Amino acid sequence: MDTFFQSFLSGAAVGMVYGLIAVGIVFIYRATAVFNFAVGSMMAFGAYLMWTFYCQLSLPFWLSLVFTLLGSAGLGLITERLCLRPLIGEPILSSVLLTLALSYLINGMIVGFWGTVDHELPSIFPKSIIHLGKVSLSHEWLWSFMISFVIILLLSLFVRRSRIGLLMRATCEDHVIAEARGISVESIFSLVWAICGLITSAAGILLALQLGVSQSLPLIAFKAFPAIIFGGLESILGACIGGLLVGILENLAGTYITSWVMEVTPYVILLLVLIIRPHGLFGLERIERI
């Protein structure tokens, strides 16, 4: 039973970070109907930026955090302005391929600037390990769970309650009508990409604190895609729960079957969900008309 709780808790902790990444993707999808495959690279970019400010330039932690968030938001803005905006109205495949190529490009930039050597991001959390009975949990995972949770909560409040959130939801419903009602759809697009930059770099830093700053960070972000499929593309809460489920199931499979099953579990779940309930647990079932 203790093994069960142990893997359950560590799964939940990492799952919340998947959820955070998934929220970044859902955010962009809701407003612009673009599926951002470049989140992994944006995440790694944030982590490397943090490493540069914090370890290489040895700035204080909070200052380097602010700079990193600004830099990542800037990356999101530039991406949107230069690459995504000309694509409005083009078929889905173009935008999918564009974000995939962008991830290629950003990965190349990371290798170019920072090289292929892995780095370690010194932890700011207490080193000790929390014991709950026989279950032990590191401070880092606990904190990353809580920070991710708070960010997701704030974002969903932002979308539900604030005026800008309302504009974003209107844009998501229909671009043309939103424009006709006087909403600047373009600035909403920019804003959404900037927010996605913020979220992904936060997730990148949280992951890098535990796993180090390395070339394998972008691959972790692919685990967020099953989370989205689980929760449905339309819902922030769904993405969060999907992330948790993916993390937990992945860890349980890793513990109870064999370790390599962990790698494929999210994708097997994804296939099953796609076949059984294609619009996810919380997604809207769209009725199409010709």
Partner 1 sequence: MAMNHNRPCGTFDTSYEQTMSVVRTPLRWTILIIFIVAIFVMPRVFSGRLLSLANLIGISIVAIQGLNLVTGYCGQMNLGQTAFMAVGAYSSALFISKLGFPWLLALPCSAITAGLVALLFGLPSLRIKGFYLAMATLAAQFIIPTLLVNIRPDITGGTHSLIVRPPVIAGFKFNTQAEMFYLIMICAVLATYLTKNIVRTGVGRAFIAIRDNDLSAEVMGINTFYYKSLAFFICGLFAGVAGCLWAHWMRAINPDNFTIMGSIWYLGMLIVGGIGSTAGAVFGVVFLRVIDFIATDVSLSLGQQFPEHMAFFQSAFSVLVQGLVIVLFVVIEPRGLNERWQLFKASYRLHPFNY
- Applying CB under 8 A, the residues found at the interface with partner 1 are 29, 35, 82-83, 86-87, 90, 92-94, 96-98, 100-105, 107-109, 111-112, 115-116, 222, 225-226, 229, 233, 258, 260, 263-264, 267-268, 270-271, 274-275, 278, 288, 290
Structure tokens at 166: 């309302």
Nearer to partner 1, 1 or 276 (CB): 276
Residue type, 287: I
- Rounded to a whole number of angstroms, the minimum distance from the CB of residue 137 to partner 1 is 28
Nearer to partner 1, 233 or 240 (CB): 233
Q: Give CA separation, 156 vs 148, 198, 199, in Å.
A: 12, 15, 13
- Rounded to a whole number of angstroms, the minimum distance from the CB of residue 269 to partner 1 is 9
Nearer to partner 1, 107 or 235 (CB): 107
Q: Is 59 helix (H, G, I), strand (E, B) or coil?
A: coil
How far is Cα 120 from Cα 200, in angstroms, rounded to an integer?
A: 19
- Rounded to a whole number of angstroms, the minimum distance from the CB of residue 280 to partner 1 is 9
- Rounded to a whole number of angstroms, the minimum distance from the CB of residue 232 to partner 1 is 10
Determine contact, residues 231/282, Cβ cutoff 8 Å. Answer: yes
Q: Give CA separation, 7 vs 14, 60, 89, 118, 228, in Å.
A: 11, 34, 45, 27, 22
Q: What is the DSSP string of 108-156?
A: HHHHHHH-S--B-----S---EEEETTEEEEHHHHHHHHHHHHHHHHHH
Nearer to partner 1, 191 or 270 (CB): 270
- Rounded to a whole number of angstroms, the minimum distance from the CB of residue 35 to partner 1 is 5
Nearer to partner 1, 35 or 141 (CB): 35
